[in-house]
Structure 1
């Protein structure tokens, strides 16, 4: 089972001091995090694409490439690429370039995007939300399958027997489907035989089991072996020295950012400490605690959903960077070994 970090490169006001770091500083911090994650033994680091003032991650491939030459084994992925509002040719070129720099460690996680700022920014209509993603995913998969591409669609000019370069080191370049938890996304990914990543940021992770079943059933119907397909989850969380310390450090920034998003989306009820504490219980969606507790929650997730990769989203909102680095270090040196030892023990039982 792979364990790693995901981030949106938050550049939000510090909930304690009110200070807002620059996008440039947050980008440099991300490179430092990736290097540490590699050294700590984590398997993957993902950056989500957003186009708004409180996130610095508009170009995940560029940030990942900055760290690629300074790392040795960690896989480098978007989390996600908003494929609907991008050009699949440029997406492939950016990540195949990253793949070359990293010598075969790049991945694309393609999604429709839960934030919609990129659509008007790049001149797309939200009326075409579904059609854009389906068409552009088709083109992206055609590009990774063949050096020369002939393709036509309704939202992008056709391509007639043209080459797309550079080609990736990996053949094929890994493409994941990211899902917020819809049946349509699970069925699409299974039918295409693509790995899937579920964003689980609320409720109980075990409630995603029916979607995992739909995914595997769709894969089997399409002739793919579901046992060979990877399943990832992405959840907010933080690793501290103790459960109480982790919760107290992680709550202020999480509350601040969740309330910003809640106001934007009309959630109604504010995000409170009671909400937070309920979510960090064993069956909740927050992975907050000491290494043993976080490992226990990951193992329960593995048991309930059969996941093969787990992303811990650190941080939500802005936290002191030294605390974020310590959480990454603990995830790699303490949590991941516990999970791996237990899974090895189970495999031998």
Structure 2
């Protein structure tokens, strides 16, 4: 398995087929943000301390008031049975084996209750898209609540689908039953995306928060003023995200958007960031810049595609080992103690990869 599987790996395309590979690997428009999500981490330099006792290290963090073993979260990813026959159950097994918080997509090809059963006592959140037929969204929230999901992650950067040319070329269809359409026929991506409610506003959040009966985390925030409004609306957490470069091309990378959001939120909500995290030192950089945790998506999915649950677990174990090593080499034995003193200025001459 490649340490950093490329987004266009020929073996992955051969394994998944052009439709599924294009869906999972692709981004919006010219895919400039997709590439910048990876490049943004490389632009940040680390500044280690020396002669620090790092013989014992602690990767722990706190999210929603609970101590977690480490800050790596498995991101919500749709249609996972198109990556591997085990689908979401394989990823859940990998998350449970590594004590990783698992966020299940509402576009899951395995029911939320079945995934919860597979996870057992392991930590889990449920990601929600709000659909035009809001009863569908409320039914999914009810199933998540009854199945012991701890928080509701509402994705707020998807009023309509991004311009995804790979999907247009391949005509990818979701052949597996999904939670919002469990007994219906296969649907094209366009048909599925047309179900999203483009009228969703801040005024609707309270309705879903009340129905959820659990903390609400907003996913897809890139602006400090939106982050501040999220806190004022009662969000317990914010995921700084550009949807993996899949929505609006030439937006900021999540890690580049993070610092002003940290300042605006000022500790009033938990902050997570995603987009292009492939190494343990990426995780350390995110924590140093003010995040409480990171979400990892495609990197875990490629592991699932190549090796099922064992492949996904291998990816997570390597990320954890790299983070542990990074803490030692940074001279910071506790992940919770990482701060801006451990990162230097952007590398000279390096900026966004798009004009």
Instruction: Please list, as runs of the form range in 1=range in 2, the aligned pairs for 1:17-166 lying within 5 A after superposition.
Output: 23=82, 26=84, 28-42=86-100, 44-49=101-106, 58-59=107-108, 62-79=110-127, 81-83=128-130, 85-87=132-134, 90-102=136-148, 104-113=149-158, 116=161, 117=190, 121-122=194-195, 129=198, 131-144=199-212
* TM-score normalised per structure 2: 0.52
User: What are the Cα deviations for residues 175-229 of structure 1, in whole angstroms up to 9, with x where unaligned?
Assistant: 1111241345313212113111111556471443113323x2xxxxxxxxx5341
Unaligned runs of 5+ in 2: 1-60, 62-70, 162-189, 245-251, 340-355
The secondary structure found in structure 1 opposite 2:125 is: strand
CA 1:46 to 1:115, structure 2 compared with 1: closer, same or farther past 3 Å?
farther
Q: How big is the alpha-carbon RMSD for the aligned residues of Structure 1 and Structure 2?
A: 3.6
Hey, what does 1:230 align to over in structure 2?
270
Distance in 2, Cα, partners of 1:136 & 1:324? 36
Is the counterpart of residue 4 in structure 1 residue 73 in structure 2? Answer: yes
Hey, what does 1:311 align to over in structure 2?
295
User: What are the Cα deviations for residues 233-281 of structure 1, in whole angstroms up to 9, with x where unaligned?
Assistant: 1223xxxxxxxxxxxxxxxxxxxxxxxxxxxxxxxxxxxxxxxxxxxxx
CA 1:137 to 1:309, structure 2 compared with 1: closer, same or farther past 3 Å?
same
CA 1:97 to 1:118, structure 2 compared with 1: closer, same or farther past 3 Å?
same
User: What are the Cα deviations for residues 85-107 of structure 1, in whole angstroms up to 9, with x where unaligned?
Assistant: 351x54344234223323x5353
Matched-pair contact (CA < 8 Å) for 1:85–1:119: no
The one of 239, 259, 262 aligned to 1:209 = 259
Distance in 1, Cα, partners of 2:326 & 2:258? 24
CA 1:345 to 1:232, structure 2 compared with 1: closer, same or farther past 3 Å?
closer
Distance in 2, Cα, partners of 1:115 & 1:8? 17
Quote the offset at 1:9 in angstroms: 3.6
CA 1:331 to 1:59, structure 2 compared with 1: closer, same or farther past 3 Å?
same
Unaligned runs of 5+ in 1: 12-21, 50-57, 145-171, 217-225, 237-286, 289-293
The one of 334, 337, 349 aligned to 1:342 = 334
* TM-score normalised per structure 1: 0.53
Quote the offset at 1:231 in angstroms: 0.8
Distance in 2, Cα, partners of 1:90 & 1:334? 41
Matched-pair contact (CA < 8 Å) for 2:284–2:323: no
Matched-pair contact (CA < 8 Å) for 1:197–1:231: yes
User: What are the Cα deviations for residues 64-113 of structure 1, in whole angstroms up to 9, with x where unaligned?
Assistant: 4322112234332344x2226351x54344234223323x5353333241
Quote the offset at 1:47 in angstroms: 3.8
Is the counterpart of residue 331 in structure 1 residue 331 in structure 2? Answer: no
Hey, what does 2:219 align to over in structure 1?
178
Distance in 2, Cα, partners of 1:326 & 1:310? 18
Quote the offset at 1:232 in angstroms: 0.9
